[in-house]
Chains A and B, each alone.
Chain A
Amino acid sequence: MKLSIENLNFSYNPKSKKIFDGFNLSVEEGEILAVLGNSGCGKSTLLRIISGLEENAQGIIRVGNTIFQDSSFFVPVEKRNIGFVFQDYALFPYMTVEQNIKLGMKKPCPEQLHQLLELTRIEELKKRYPHELSGGQQQRTALARTLASKPTLLLMDEPFSNLDTNLVDELRRDLKQIIKSQKITTILVTHDRDDADFLADKVLELSSSNLQ
């Protein structure tokens, strides 16, 4: 679904400098947008605002025909049906791969679970706990869990930052293939131009003023 953001304003507290000041963005359905920028320019904050984790932002956020927030209305994070893959993957450490993925499902569905395990190539790892997985395997599990909720929009925060550089090329290819096969509108935040060039249909570079 198409994402559009209009006139976004945000600061962490009223006295501090605005991170976003009249910011606008549009991402077409099925498109992958990479957000590039230096540390502290608000890349991750943008994802948190879109997901609804930051409640103090002002402006209009719309996904498809659904308004997530405007000046008088705010859809809480639990009701947005957005997928979010965090930088550290945030896998529940006391749950196996299988249990982590099931957590994303609205209703338990063995077929969907099987498909996701197959799609992300972690079938053999389903009984393992997160600390028994490599960084790449953890990333795939986090992606499978996110896809399990059939999100309307996929947000990824620095998906390759915790991985061995030797693995990154292979994982980039896999990730692009999976996202494209699911036709999900995706925003990924990265500080690495190579990630952005390889994965994204378009690239947004954030600067400290963020007035684009």
Chain B
Amino acid sequence: MNLLQKNNRKRKVCILTLLTFLSIIIINLPIISIISNVNFSSNSNWEHFKQYLLLDAVNNTFSLVIFTLLLSGTIGVLLAVIVALYDFPLKSFFQWALFIPITIPPYIAAYVYAGMLSYTGIVQRLGRSWDMPLNYQWLDIMNIRGAVFIYSITLYPYIYGAVKSFLENHSGNLIDTARVLGYKPLKLFIRIILPLIRIPLIGGLMLVMMEVVSDYGVIKYFNIQTVSSTIFKSWFGMGETGVAIRLSFYVMLCIIGLQAIEEIMRGRKKYNLNSGSGKSITPIKLKGFKGYAVIVLIFLIIGLAFIIPVGQMIVWAILAFHKVNLPNLSQILFNTLLYGILATLLILILNIWIAHTRRWMRAKPSFIMSKMTQLGYSMPGAVIAVGTITVFVALDTFLNPFYQYFDPNTKKLLLSTSIAMLVFAFIVRYMAIGFNSVNSAFAKVGVLYNDAARTLGVGRTKAMLTIELPMLKNFLIAGSILTFIDILKELPLTLLLRPFNYNTLASRVYEYANDERIHEASVPALIIIFLSIMAIVLLVKINPKRKGGLMKR
């Protein structure tokens, strides 16, 4: 290779890396805009907010997060440990069924439970007609206690999934060792399993925390003042951008701080020394009473989290079906699918590009790239929304002369009133979900096939497109399905950033529920759940691990 060729190669790699970093910076523009627009000077609005609203908002958010983490963590870990360590009747069905509640967005569960437990709901009606001594105070769930219950039953699958998968893949010999050393179930759980699952548990808890902090549907319906609702209110209700940006900045700092603390506390420790090489767990057979007790427990969780709310929604949907504007609904379904799929595809393409480029980078820039790609997911929806609007308004202002050039009568805000802003926000928020799947897939193949193809005269990108992508097909589809499910259920970004008169299934559910038309809300809600279940069924069918991974295509 002569000097000129060497320089060309270097330049090519540099340009690829620069382009990748540039795209990551564009994705992070909303976050950058919040940081650059935050104003720390004391003004009357901030002082007023600090004096009258801040304490309640922070206290409520804190209570919601802590109690939800405790309850969903307990449910998720308990179920994951039972499924991973024990064998019981119908296990193969239940281990998947326990994921299904993830298809119900918390705001839908909140509307259904609030309706069911209200004065005219089925529970109180049955209680009255059967003269049951019900404590009606406990049936009022439109408070923090109720919100914790709703979040926990709908979000525990994040923890269940992460912990179960870790235990099944990384802990077989470790748990066998502890058993051989004489550790009985309780001691095994406290001394071995709990420390061992630290990373997936914290990962799952972080996801749950983000969902709780981001949520707008439940807290709005239950009328609970939180940090997220305050950002919404101050920006969109009072036009108080300074307070919203400053609050968003503090939320961002807290989340980044929490992640940093976790990294520091982990120190030199590692949690999966023999990743993938360890033997899978040997489940212990639960016989007789214990086996049935486990089935009852699992059935109770699935009943509360899925069967009861979906059953009630089906009844309500049948009652209200004639009232729902079906042609309008099909347009909404079309919108949801079109822009959901569009955002998912864009996320997939970007993630493939980033994961592909990262493979030839040094550890530090590669680490920074990975963290930056995932930054959006660790920010609450309201923060992303505020940042996205700021960026798009600035972009519209900048591009206005061009708009004027083509059409002198054009409106000032073009991009920021279009669907492009919402799709961009989806990309910012959900890049991380697809990235994890795509990146782990690329990490699994390494650079071996790419290098082999290049020795045969095929370029890096072409080798990736023609050789590696077909090999990674199932991983990429799996990552895309997960992304699509999240976008399908997404509410806060859609509510804040959608163009005038534009609706998705999620925003339609919100509108119906907000108008106290819960029965009508059941129709689009059931469509969301049905689509999510279909996506999960597809996910199970194409599960790369079930098909034997990369080599057995």
Q: Is A bound to B?
A: yes
> Could you tell me the distance between the alpha carbons of A106 and B269 in the complex, rounded to whole angstroms?
25
By the criterion CB–CB under 8 Å, are A104 and B181 in contact? yes
Given contacts A88-B173, A94-B198, contact A82 B272 (CB under 8 A): no
| A28 beta carbon closer than 8 Å to chain B | no
**0/1 interface trace, chain B 274-285, chain A, CB 8 Å (1 if under):** 100111001011
Within 8 A of B (CB), among A76-121: 77-84, 86-88, 90-95, 103-104, 106
Residues of B within 8 A of A92 (CB): 174, 192, 195-196
A39 to chain B, nearest CB (A): 14
A89 to chain B, nearest CB (A): 8
Closest to B176 in A: A53
| B184 beta carbon closer than 8 Å to chain A | yes
> Could you tell me the distance between the alpha carbons of A82 and B270 in the complex, rounded to whole angstroms?
27
Within 8 A of A (CB), among B524-552: none
By the criterion CB–CB under 8 Å, are B182 and A91 in contact? no
By the criterion CB–CB under 8 Å, are B270 and A93 in contact? yes
By the criterion CB–CB under 8 Å, are B273 and A91 in contact? yes
Residues of A within 8 A of B284 (CB): 55
Cβ-defined partner of A86 (8 Å) among B177, B192, B269, B270: B177
| B299 beta carbon closer than 8 Å to chain A | no
Residues of A within 8 A of B179 (CB): 53, 77-78
By the criterion CB–CB under 8 Å, are B195 and A94 in contact? yes
By the criterion CB–CB under 8 Å, are B180 and A53 in contact? yes
A152 to chain B, nearest CB (A): 12
A140 to chain B, nearest CB (A): 16
Residues of B within 8 A of A77 (CB): 176, 179-180
Within 8 A of A (CB), among B144-188: 173-174, 176-184
By the criterion CB–CB under 8 Å, are B184 and A94 in contact? no
Within 8 A of A (CB), among B243-275: 268-274
Closest to A127 in B: B268
By the criterion CB–CB under 8 Å, are B173 and A93 in contact? no
- How many residue pairs link A and B with beta carbons under 8 A? The number is 73
Residues of B within 8 A of A48 (CB): 282
| A149 beta carbon closer than 8 Å to chain B | yes
| A132 beta carbon closer than 8 Å to chain B | yes
Residues of A within 8 A of B182 (CB): 78-79, 81, 106, 149
> Could you tell me the distance between the alpha carbons of A132 and B174 in the complex, rounded to whole angstroms?
18
> Could you tell me the distance between the alpha carbons of A178 and B192 in the complex, rounded to whole angstroms?
28
By the criterion CB–CB under 8 Å, are A86 and B271 in contact? no
Within 8 A of B (CB), among A126-178: 129-132, 145, 149
| A69 beta carbon closer than 8 Å to chain B | no
Given contacts A77-B180, A84-B176, A84-B180, contact A54 B282 (CB under 8 A): yes
Residues of B within 8 A of A78 (CB): 179-180, 182-184
Closest to A77 in B: B179
Q: By CB atoms of chain B within 10 A, which of A54, A80, A86 has the most?
A: A86
| A58 beta carbon closer than 8 Å to chain B | no
| A51 beta carbon closer than 8 Å to chain B | yes
> Could you tell me the distance between the alpha carbons of A117 and B346 in the complex, rounded to whole angstroms?
56
> Could you tell me the distance between the alpha carbons of A48 and B279 in the complex, rounded to whole angstroms?
12
Given contacts A55-B284, A55-B285, A78-B183, contact A90 B272 (CB under 8 A): no
Residues of A within 8 A of B269 (CB): 93-94, 129
Residues of A within 8 A of B183 (CB): 78
> Could you tell me the distance between the alpha carbons of A79 and B278 in the complex, rounded to whole angstroms?
24
By the criterion CB–CB under 8 Å, are B273 and A93 in contact? yes
> Could you tell me the distance between the alpha carbons of A83 and B176 in the complex, rounded to whole angstroms?
11
> Could you tell me the distance between the alpha carbons of A22 and B267 in the complex, rounded to whole angstroms?
52
Residues of B within 8 A of A104 (CB): 181
Given contacts A53-B180, A78-B184, contact A131 B173 (CB under 8 A): no
Given contacts A86-B173, A88-B173, A92-B174, contact A51 B271 (CB under 8 A): no
Cβ-defined partner of B181 (8 Å) among A91, A132, A149: A149
Residues of A within 8 A of B176 (CB): 53, 77, 84, 86, 90
Closest to A94 in B: B269
Residues of B within 8 A of A131 (CB): 270, 273
Residues of B within 8 A of A86 (CB): 173, 176-177, 279
The 8 closest A-B pairs by CB, nearest first: A90-B173, A93-B273, A90-B177, A84-B180, A94-B269, A93-B270, A86-B173, A77-B179
A-B contacts, 11 listed (Cβ < 8 Å): A53-B179, A53-B282, A55-B284, A82-B180, A90-B173, A93-B273, A103-B178, A103-B181, A129-B268, A131-B270, A149-B181
Q: Which residues of B line the A interface, CB within 8 A?
A: 173-174, 176-184, 191-192, 195-196, 198, 268-274, 277-279, 282, 284-285
Given contacts A88-B278, A90-B177, A104-B181, 12 further A-B contacts (CB under 8 A): A51-B180, A53-B180, A55-B285, A83-B180, A84-B180, A86-B279, A87-B173, A88-B277, A92-B192, A93-B269, A95-B195, A145-B181
